[in-house]
Amino acid sequence: MYRRLGQEAFDLRIGRKLLELNWGLVVLLCLIAAVGFAMLYSVASGHLNPWASKQMARFGLGLVMMFAVAVVDVRFWLRHAYTAYVIALALLVVVAVAGTVGMGARRWIDLGPISIQPSEIMKIALLLALARYFHALAPEDVGRIRWLVVPLIMVMAPVALVLKQPDLGTAILLLLSAAIIFLLAGVRLWMFAAAILAVGGALPLAWPFMHAYQRERITTFLNPESDPLGAGYHILQSKIALGSGGLWGKGFMMGTQSHLSFLPEKQTDFIFTTLAEEFGMIGGLVLLSLYILVFAYGFAIAMRARSPFGRLLAMGFTGMFFLYVFINIAMVTGLVPVVGVPLPLVSYGGTSMMTLLFGFGLLMSVYIHRDLEIPRRPDLLEF
């Protein structure tokens, strides 16, 4: 009897938490994903296979996972943040030693029916670990260099492993996401200025050590017209597609650049270009508006969280989501070099989709448990 009553009480708590979910944010995520399904259906010339059907299944599974993560007490994620980081780092080491090679890079672990990309998992694990570290740090210690050595090592270790794959886009996302956490935690601005100057000064020295394709991407970004049929082909075709869409676009499934296979990676990196060609500037602005609303929800959730861990985690993930969107759209419009960053919830991809929805689950966990007072010492946690 007592066991049954306990189970009923547990089910009641879970049901109450599900009702407390930020359902406005859930609707926005579903709308953005629906845009992705439609575009994947379009680039497959009106077929659900090979991309749209798999993306729908992944999104459905991801939503279930997101709800499960959201109802878990945020203090659980604080307690196990370092464990998640260690597991993600170990997976990156496995990739370096015995990973699967695809398109010239060693980025995946083959598990038979599925493949996972540990660098995507590390994006969330790093945010969790950094949020826990700065949560436990006294405010007066954040500005002291000696207390920044450990988090800097935590950042540079996965960045080095990701660069070895090589995956410049993910390495940049890891660095910039970590920088957001550092900034919000209270690290002094002069330290950021010194880091930027150091990186700027090291770039000429790093040039000879870069992979040939990375140097090619930078030179192509600076002057794509110098090799219109070679290195500059992709970005020039992307610009042609964007311009040809005009204000209202050519119509659903009527994009010539994508359907005649002029546009590269039309289901992943350049899917925004397909959208803009078929639905024009208006279609692109509608999608951007949905993203902006997601940013606003994330910012509001972070501001309402009472614990430093909740605020840092929510703002860190929201900042990372913003970087995904900004870099992808800037990339396909020629504002930054092509670095292979997908458009979140729209581009085709399994690990990326699941990782993002796990992150939104963490964001909603912060929202549900926003009024919790969490001690700075994790060993004092009781729940």
- What crossing angle do the helices spanning 118-136 and 308-332 adopt, rounded to 10°? 140
* Average of per-residue pLDDT values in the chain: 85
Which residues on adjacent β-strands are paired with residue 101? 106
Please name the helix (run of DSSP H) or strand (run of DSSP E) that holds residue 33, with its range, or none. helix 23-43
Q: Which tokens hold the place of 140?
A: 């007066």
Q: Which tokens hold the place of 342?
A: 């997908």
| Residue 315, number of CB atoms within 10 A of its CB | 25
CA–CA gap between residue 180 and residue 304 (Å, rounded): 18
Evaluate if residue 69 carries a pLDDT over 90: yes
Average the pLDDT over 88-105 and give the result. Answer: 83
φ, ψ at 257 (rounded to 5°): -60, -40
* C-alpha 261: how far from chain center: 27
At 353-377, the pLDDT tens digits run 999 999 999 999 999 998 887 877 6
| pLDDT for the residue numbered 106 | 78
At 40-63, the pLDDT tens digits run 999 888 889 889 999 999 999 999
Half-sphere exposure of 71 (CA within 13 A, CB side): 16
Task: Give the pLDDT band (50/70/90) at residue 96.
Answer: confident
Please name the helix (run of DSSP H) or strand (run of DSSP E) that holds residue 304, with its range, or none. helix 271-304
At 154-200, the pLDDT tens digits run 999 999 999 888 788 889 899 999 999 999 998 888 888 887 887 77
| pLDDT for the residue numbered 226 | 58
> Prior bond to 337 cis, omega within 30?
no
> Prior bond to 342 cis, omega within 30?
no
| pLDDT for the residue numbered 160 | 92
CB 222 within 8 A of CB 344: no
| pLDDT for the residue numbered 374 | 81
CB 25 within 8 A of CB 366: no
The answer to which of 5-9, 11-15, 154-158, 327-331 has the lowest mean pLDDT is 5-9
- DSSP string of 329-367, one letter each residue: HHHHTTSS-----PPTTTS--HHHHHHHHHHHHHHHHHH
Task: Give the pLDDT band (50/70/90) at residue 122.
Answer: very high
CB 126 within 8 A of CB 85: yes
